[in-house]
């Protein structure tokens, strides 16, 4: 009603009073708004839909704790270092001692036995074949990270090493990856479409779960990133986030890289493995990776001394490490290509990065195995100084270098020692504190629940096993120092190598040739090199951890190894069996031809003698 009309009917005073009160209320509200803080920009934004972050998981193969530049390594890794400075570095992250178990745990949040990947085919004894947890592929009731993220609208891609099964329903497409370029083997040549060891007669590459060929002549890290970039280019333009699992072959055997990278490290390792171990240990203390009072790990007594090698052998060994460092730098350059693409597309700041390794460094010396040099020759490999690491060469660093690069840990891949389990772990992106270094206990099965926490609420997958790892999201946000309490124990077992960690102590055992299957007790942080067995001085702690391991083994269905089991002998036996499967038919056919030819010749000779006997009675 207009004010004038209201006044005409005798209520003008009341209207004016209400107007004055309204103006006073509005003025008071304005003053309160100026005095009291309103919602922040972030609060305003939180009321509107926010795109979930992308996730990029970068997995190195057999890289040691200190192999990356930001962890004190010799290789130049500027792109990884830049990601690390934007996020959090873990200094007490532990994985499993072998590739397939680690990958299963990483992608599921379960223990390796729960996931169905207790060990790898190459070392599996016949007594364990087909037993629960020993199928060596992801079991039907196991949900993977990509399966969970697809439920939330993510596009999911992988490129690189899979090694989690190649039968029906075992390849990436059956486990949540919408696009994939996958190697289902423990390794392959980095230049050509061919195997790297006698266990395989080919390099089994698959694209979108169908057999495919590797593009010969191209370096593996380049090919792997090319595939990821192609999948990103071809993804639906619907604004949905993506998961990219980038599983490099670096620095698994065969250690190979372009000369442009390897030549940068000429002379860098000429002083040998003892000096490298001393240098890395000093840098580990300087960088705060270990306790300042820690003692350096000892090399196993079976290791050769550098000065016992001939000058020619020293040159070959030093060159092997130059290639090793070059392979890491070459892979970092490919990571840089991926980062540049995300930056150009405006996706970089909204991407969570995980950079880690599946286990510690590879100690194998295949050249010392009977028949391996002959196998190399038949598959077009050589091991010459002039082209080491390049196309047509086969290369490895061996146990002495592996022991040195595992510093400040003891031993290496295959073993549940500190050098086999403790590897780099970087996480960066939304929800993660920058420039942080944490000594919080963290384990490979924690990666999936951590990522699920960081990306937000994800629909459950009915019937799947519950995740056993713990989210490290609060540690990453700087809200807590650890998600594990002093009473929490975490175990691992792979082919008889076992460890159980509880609080600041770990109980470990590992099998020959570098172990003796005896349990030993170590302090995790004060003694990262596992130099002092505390069993005698802390019998109650040891007994408690023994009980914890027994409970872990029972809950996970861990099987005892058959009497007399030796990992090298089992690997050789399994390789021979596979070679017979590949070539046994040819051998039988050849022997059949030889037998038939011999029988034919003997029969002809018999007929000739009979004829001669008739002619000359």
Per the CB < 8 A criterion, the answer to whether 502 and 543 are in contact is: no
Residues 289, 151, single domain; the answer is yes
217 belongs to a structural domain? yes
350 belongs to a structural domain? yes
Of 196-205, 415-424, 559-568, 606-615, highest mean pLDDT: 415-424
**What is the per-residue pLDDT for 463?**
92
- The pLDDT tens digits of the residues spanning 5-49 come to 333 323 333 333 332 334 333 333 332 332 333 333 233 333 345
Q: Return all residues near 192 (Cβ < 8 A) that are at least 6 apart.
A: 214, 216, 217, 380, 391, 392
User: For residue 91, what are the CA distances in angstroms to 25, 189, 439, 452, 483?
Assistant: 59, 31, 5, 22, 15
Q: How far is residue 147's CA from residue 158's CA, in Å, rounded to a whole number? A: 13
Residues 20, 109, single domain; the answer is no
**What is the per-residue pLDDT for 565?**
87
Residues 165, 113, single domain; the answer is yes
Residues 24, 122, single domain; the answer is no
Among 459, 480, 501, the domain-final residue is 480
Among 72-81, 419-428, 582-591, the range scoring the smallest mean pLDDT is: 582-591
Per the CB < 8 A criterion, the answer to whether 68 and 77 are in contact is: yes
513 belongs to a structural domain? no
Give the other-Cβ count within 10 Å of 556's Cβ: 20
**What is the per-residue pLDDT for 542?**
98
**What is the per-residue pLDDT for 373?**
92
Q: What angle do CA 409, 410, 413 make, to 5 degrees?
A: 95
Residues 321, 464, single domain; the answer is yes
**What is the per-residue pLDDT for 606?**
65
Residues 32, 123, single domain; the answer is no
Q: How far is residue 439's CA from residue 530's CA, in Å, rounded to a whole number? A: 17
Does 587 have pLDDT greater than 70?
A: no
Task: Give me the CATH number covering residue 443.
Answer: 3.40.720.10
Catalytic site residues? 99, 163
Among 480, 510, 541, the domain-final residue is 480
Range of the domain at 288: 54-264+272-480
Q: Is the peptide bond before 513 cis (omega within 30 degrees of 0)?
A: yes
* Radius of gyration, alpha carbons of the chain: 31
- The predicted model scores a pTM of 0.86
**Helices in 355-468 by DSSP H: which ranges?**
372-378, 398-405, 418-421, 447-455
Half-sphere exposure of 85 (CA within 13 A, CB side): 8
Q: What share of the chain has pLDDT > 70, as a percent?
A: 85
616 belongs to a structural domain? yes
Residues 14, 103, single domain; the answer is no
**What is the per-residue pLDDT for 43?**
34
**What is the per-residue pLDDT for 585?**
60
Residues 17, 85, single domain; the answer is no
**What is the per-residue pLDDT for 582?**
58
- Which band of pLDDT confidence, cut at 50, 70 and 90, is reported for residue 569? confident
Per the CB < 8 A criterion, the answer to whether 387 and 319 are in contact is: no
Does 359 have pLDDT greater than 70?
A: yes
- The pLDDT tens digits of the residues spanning 509-561 come to 999 999 999 999 999 999 999 999 999 999 999 999 999 999 999 999 999 99
For the chain, the domain total comes to: 3
Does 303 have pLDDT greater than 60?
A: yes
Average pLDDT over residues 454-468: 92
- The pLDDT tens digits of the residues spanning 175-214 come to 999 999 999 999 999 999 999 998 898 999 999 999 999 9
535 belongs to a structural domain? no
**What is the per-residue pLDDT for 31?**
29
Give the other-Cβ count within 10 Å of 12's Cβ: 14
495 belongs to a structural domain? no
Residues 123, 204, single domain; the answer is yes
Does 283 have pLDDT greater than 70?
A: yes
**What is the per-residue pLDDT for 592?**
62
Residues 65, 8, single domain; the answer is no
Q: Is the peptide bond before 132 cis (omega within 30 degrees of 0)?
A: no
460 belongs to a structural domain? yes
- The pLDDT tens digits of the residues spanning 360-396 come to 999 999 999 888 999 999 999 999 999 999 999 999 9
Average pLDDT over residues 54-80: 98
Among 445, 480, 515, the domain-final residue is 480
pLDDT greater at residue 600 or residue 144: 144
**What is the per-residue pLDDT for 51?**
85
Residues 24, 90, single domain; the answer is no
Longest Cα–Cα distance of the chain, Å, equals 160
499 belongs to a structural domain? no
How does the average pLDDT of the chain come out, rounded?
Answer: 88
The per-residue DSSP string of 547-576 comes to HHHHHHHHHHTPPPPPTT--HHHHHHHHHH
Burial class (CB in 10 A: 0-12, 13-18, 19+), 89: buried
Residues 143, 235, single domain; the answer is yes
**What is the per-residue pLDDT for 615?**
61
Q: How far is residue 159's CA from residue 162's CA, in Å, rounded to a whole number? A: 8
Average pLDDT over residues 160-171: 93
């Amino acid at each position: 009603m207009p004010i004038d009309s209201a006044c005409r009917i005798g209520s003008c005073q009341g209207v004016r009073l209400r107007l004055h009160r309204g103006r006073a209320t509005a003025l008071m509200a304005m003053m309160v708004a100026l005095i009291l803080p309103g919602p922040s920009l972030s609060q305003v934004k939180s009321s509107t839909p926010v795109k979930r972050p992308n996730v990029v998981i970068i997995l190195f193969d057999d890289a040691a704790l200190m192999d990356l530049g930001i962890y004190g390594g010799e290789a130049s890794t500027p792109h990884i270092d830049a990601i690390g400075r934007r996020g959090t570095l873990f200094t007490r992250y532990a994985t499993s001692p072998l590739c397939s178990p680690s990958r299963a745990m990483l992608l599921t949040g379960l223990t390796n036995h729960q996931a169905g990947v207790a060990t790898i085919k190459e070392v599996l004894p016949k007594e364990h074949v087909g037993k629960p947890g020993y199928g060596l592929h992801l079991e039907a009731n196991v949900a993977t990270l990509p399966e969970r993220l697809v439920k939330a609208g993510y596009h999911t891609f992988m490129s690189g090493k899979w090694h989690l099964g190649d039968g029906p329903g075992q390849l990436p497409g059956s486990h949540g990856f919408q696009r994939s370029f996958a190697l289902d083997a423990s390794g392959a040549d980095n230049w050509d479409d061919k195997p790297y060891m006698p266990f395989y007669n080919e390099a089994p590459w698959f694209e979108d779960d169908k057999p495919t060929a590797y593009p010969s002549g191209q370096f593996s890290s380049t090919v792997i990133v090319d595939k990821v970039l192609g999948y990103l280019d071809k993804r639906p333009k619907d604004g949905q986030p993506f998961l990219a699992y980038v599983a490099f072959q670096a620095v698994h055997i065969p250690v190979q890289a372009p000369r442009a990278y390897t030549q940068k490290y000429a002379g860098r390792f000429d002083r040998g493995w003892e000096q490298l171990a001393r240098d890395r240990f000093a840098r580990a203390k300087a960088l705060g990776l270990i306790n300042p009072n820690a003692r350096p790990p000892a090399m196993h007594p079976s290791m050769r001394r550098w000065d016992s090698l001939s000058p020619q052998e020293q040159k070959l060994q030093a060159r092997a490490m130059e290639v090793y460092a070059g392979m890491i730098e070459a892979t970092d350059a490919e990571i840089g290509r991926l980062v540049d693409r995300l930056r150009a597309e405006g996706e970089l700041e909204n991407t969570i990065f995980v950079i880690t390794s599946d286990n510690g460094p590879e100690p194998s010396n295949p050249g010392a195995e009977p028949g391996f040099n002959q196998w190399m020759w038949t598959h077009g490999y050589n091991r010459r100084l002039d082209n080491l690491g390049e196309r047509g060469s086969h290369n490895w660093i061996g146990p002495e270098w592996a022991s040195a690069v595992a510093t400040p840990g003891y031993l290496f891949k295959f073993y549940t020692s500190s050098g086999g389990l403790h590897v780099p772990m970087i996480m960066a992106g939304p929800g993660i504190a920058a420039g942080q270094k944490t000594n919080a206990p963290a384990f490979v099965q924690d990666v999936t629940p951590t990522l699920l926490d960081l990306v937000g609420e994800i629909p459950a997958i009915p019937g799947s096993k519950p995740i056993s790892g713990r989210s490290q999201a609060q540690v990453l946000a700087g809200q807590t120092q650890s998600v594990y309490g002093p009473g929490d124990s975490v175990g691992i077992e792979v082919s008889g190598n076992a460890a159980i960690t509880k609080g600041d102590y770990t109980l470990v055992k590992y099998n020959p040739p570098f172990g003796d299957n005896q349990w030993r007790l170590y302090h995790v942080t004060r003694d990262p090199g596992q130099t002092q067995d505390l069993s005698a001085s802390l019998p109650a702690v040891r007994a408690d951890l023994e009980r914890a391991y027994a409970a872990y083994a029972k809950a996970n269905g861990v099987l005892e190894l058959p009497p007399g089991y030796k990992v090298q002998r089992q690997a050789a036996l399994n390789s021979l069996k596979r070679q017979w499967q590949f070539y046994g038919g040819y051998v039988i056919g050849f022997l059949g031809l030889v037998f038939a030819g011999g029988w034919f010749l003997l029969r002809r000779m018999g007929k000739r003698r009979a004829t001669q006997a008739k002619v000359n009675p």
